[in-house]
Amino acid sequence: MHPLICKLESNIFFLGFRQKVAQELQVREASLELSMGMSSDFEEATRMGSTSVRVGSSIFGARNYPSKAKDGGDTSGLAKKVEGTKISST
């Protein structure tokens, strides 16, 4: 399935979910926050009713994630450092 269709279906799901929550809580739907959308699709999310979007990468640029270890993220080196650490309650 095309990613845009998946996003649209997700947005529709969240809109419906907010409506059901509002009914259950007996509050106005507009009183509930709805966070949908990111830098790449914030315009569509706001058109669909999002009250909060995440646009950090548009402002600050893409994140630079550290590369993972080749073995899938083995943290045994960290465990060895922690093993020798003494913890005291003072």
pLDDT tens string 8-21: 677 788 888 889 99
**pLDDT of res. 20:** 92
Whether residue 85 is contained in a domain is answered as no
Beta strand ranges found along 1-90 (DSSP E) = 35-38, 52-54
Whether residue 42 is contained in a domain is answered as yes
Long-range contacts of 69-77 (CB under 8 A, 24+ apart): none
- How many domains, the chain? 1
Indicate the average pLDDT of the chain: 75
Structural domain boundaries, residue 5: 1-55
Whether residue 29 is contained in a domain is answered as yes
The Cα 18–Cα 49 span in angstroms is 11
**pLDDT of res. 25:** 94
